[in-house]
Each structure stands twice: as C-alpha cells, then as structure tokens.
Amino acid sequence: MKYWLSIYLLLLSCTLVKGQTGEELSAIDYRAMRFPMEITYSTTDLASYIEAHFTGNKERIRAAYRWVTYNLTYDRDSMLSINWSKDSREKIAATLRRKKGVCDNFSSVYADILSKMNIPSFVVNGFAKGSGKEQAHSWNALQLEGEWFLCDPTWDAGFNTYSNYFLKSPDQFIATHWPFDPLWQLLAKPVTLKEFNNGFISSGRKENFYSISDSVKLFMALDSLQQLEATARRMEAFGMEENNLRTWYAYNNMNIAIIYGEQDMNLYNAAIADLNKANAFLNEFINYRNNFFKPAKDDKMIRDMLQPIEGLMNAASKKMEAIGRVKENFQYDTGFLKDRINATGKKFEQQNLFLNRYFESSGADRDKVFYEF
C-alpha cells in the first residue's frame, strides 16, 4: 500500500503554470466570482444556482469554470490530506470545504458541477509540459453543442482577468497536454509521447487510430470499470515507452482490480445472505416437523415452507461461481462456502424426502412417518 501511495502522490504532483495572455474577463465572469457563500460547499447547490442564474450551457460552462478558478487555491498538501481516498464524493466535499487542492481536485470539482447540470464532461489524466520535462497532471474534457473541448482549471487558477486554457480545441491543447488514454487527445491521429516531448506534431500519419465521435460516445456510455478497462486496452495498443506511463498503466490496473475485488466482496456477502435465508427456512421447517406439524396447517402451507430453499441455494451457488471469474481472487474462501451450500442441500433433500413420504401416506399412517425418518 505504501508503494501505491507514493505512486499516487507522484501522479498528482501537478505542474502549475501561469500563462501570459488569454481570454479577457466577461460579464459572466464577474457574476460567477460573486456566488453566495452558502451554496459553495456542494456541487449540487453550485449547479442549481448556475442553472437558475445563467442561460444556456455555454454561459453555465463558463460560470462554473470561473467559479472554480477564482475560488479554489492550488495547494499540494491536498495530495496527502484529502486525495488518498477511493471515494470521489468525499474528495470533492473536502475540496469545497477547504477551497484548495491540486489538479485532481480542480478538475474533479469542475466535472462534478457540469455533470449535475447534465453537461457531458470527463476528468483527463496525463502529462503536461509546464516547464522542462512533462509532469503528471489532470484536466477536463467537456461537450458543448455536440463538440468536445478541453480545459485546464488548475492552470487558470488565480487569474482574475483572463483564461488561457478554457474551451481549447484538441489541436491547440496537444501542444501542452498529453493524456495517458489516447482517446482524450480527441484527435483522429493521436500524437505519440515522443512527438509530444519533442514538440513535433506530424501531419503525415497514415491512418486514424479510431473514429473520435463514435469512440467518445461509446466510452461515455460505459460504467467506471468498463472505462478503466477500455483505457488499459488503448494504452496497450498505443504503446508505453516511458516508465511513468507504465506506472500510470499499473495504477489504472490496480483500480480495475479494486473494483473487481469490491464486486467479489459483494457477491460473497450476498451468497452468504442467500444461504443464511435458506437455512432459516430449513430450520423453521425442521422445528415444525419436530413438533409433529403442530399447530396444524394444510398440505399446501406445509409444502410452501420448503419452497424458497432451492431457489436461494441456486442463487448462492451462482454468486459463488462468479467470484474471481474475471480477475483471480484468493481473498474469499469459496471452498468453505461451497461446503456450506452442499451441507444445506443435503439437509434440504432429507426434509424433502420426508415430506414426500408424508404426503404419500394418509390418515394414521402419516404419524408413523415422523418415526421412520
């Protein structure tokens, strides 16, 4: 865990760059810089306020961006104090409470505000060239009027009169920002890391790596696990010539393993819950049998006492078989669980045999069945 903590902190050691020229302050910016303090501790409240006071997605995207860049302060202490958490909601809440963070905090808050306004957006991770060699960084991609643009709220933080990195085209952004997942270059012909570092963007690449519009649309429709897996596949196909790139690939795969681990945990716990319910029904029947079916019930009611058990055992078995199916997992003792399911199954079969013999008998002969089994 200490190793991955170090890797995580390394990847969040963003470059902070201050540009010299950019888009001038607008009337929207002035309004966005003066939100009521009470709504600034929740992305839901921020999104609701922006939707109520700004017209159309273009204004709302700008207002959210200006609020983030004006009100959040860059501070690397956030790398340790709030970012070592797998729960993005906690991270965002802490950022809004503290009003400071690193690139991951800026981009996560901005993306979450946009998502609360149903504006497609994504936090992009990659390398950025601020000064000298590239460093790990996070920024945003967002969709406006059917077209995807790129923004870097961290690099525009603290600039109250202009923005250098707002709604930039992919062709412009690739000069300084190179995503780990080539999809988020948003270029039909992705630039290699070597080309990025050399400042050379070839216009003569022979074929497209993918169809941008289709690929982004498909990617955004995936769940978080599927997105991580799609990113891993593209990184493998595009190549990983630098150690830092391979480090991010390993970190991405670690997150995949964590999600599968959580899924296995949920499957294991759900299988145990199904099995416990089956045993509860079985024990209730056995106790009723031991009391010679008193107080009396009709045959259907007695049969119904065993009816749920087989379905619950089958459900438990299916969940057990799914554990570790995609990623091998030695954390959960499925052998022990299988033994318990089999033991419950044998008890169920014994009680079923007894009940069938009981129903096949009539009158006084039914009483004898209690002593024969």
**Predicted confidence (pLDDT) at residue 205 exceeds the cutoff of 60:** no
pLDDT > 70: percent of the chain = 86
Alpha-carbon span 293 to 172, nearest angstrom: 80
In the prediction, which pLDDT does 126 show? 95
For the ranges 15-24, 280-289, 331-340, the maximum mean pLDDT occurs at: 280-289
In the prediction, which pLDDT does 23 show? 57
Q: Cα 123 to the chain's mean position, in Å? A: 12
Question: What are the CA-CA distances from residue 162 to residues 102, 104, 182 (Å)?
Answer: 20, 22, 29
In the prediction, which pLDDT does 271 show? 97
Q: Cα 20 to the chain's mean position, in Å? A: 37
**Confidence band for 2, pLDDT divided at 50, 70 and 90:** very low
Residue pair 194/134 in contact (Cβ under 8 Å)? The answer is no
In the prediction, which pLDDT does 16 show? 55
Residue pair 315/274 in contact (Cβ under 8 Å)? The answer is yes
* Residue 365 in tokens: 């002969």
**Tens digit of each residue's pLDDT (9 = 90 or more) over 86-134:** 578 899 999 999 999 999 999 999 999 999 999 999 999 999 987 666 7
The DSSP letter of residue 118 is T
**Tens digit of each residue's pLDDT (9 = 90 or more) over 5-60:** 445 444 555 655 544 445 556 888 889 988 999 999 999 999 999 999 999 999 99
Candidates 134, 216, 142; CA nearest to 175 is 134
Alpha-carbon span 247 to 11, nearest angstrom: 9
- Looking at residue 370, its amino acid is F
In the prediction, which pLDDT does 372 show? 83
The dihedrals phi and psi of 179, each to the nearest 5 degrees, come to: -75, 150
Spatial CB neighbours of 273, under 8 Å, sequence gap ≥ 6: none
In the prediction, which pLDDT does 18 show? 47
**Tens digit of each residue's pLDDT (9 = 90 or more) over 255-268:** 999 899 999 999 99
pTM of the model: 0.79
Three-class SS state of 11: helix
Q: Which residue has the higher pLDDT, 19 or 307?
A: 307
Alpha-carbon span 309 to 346, nearest angstrom: 12
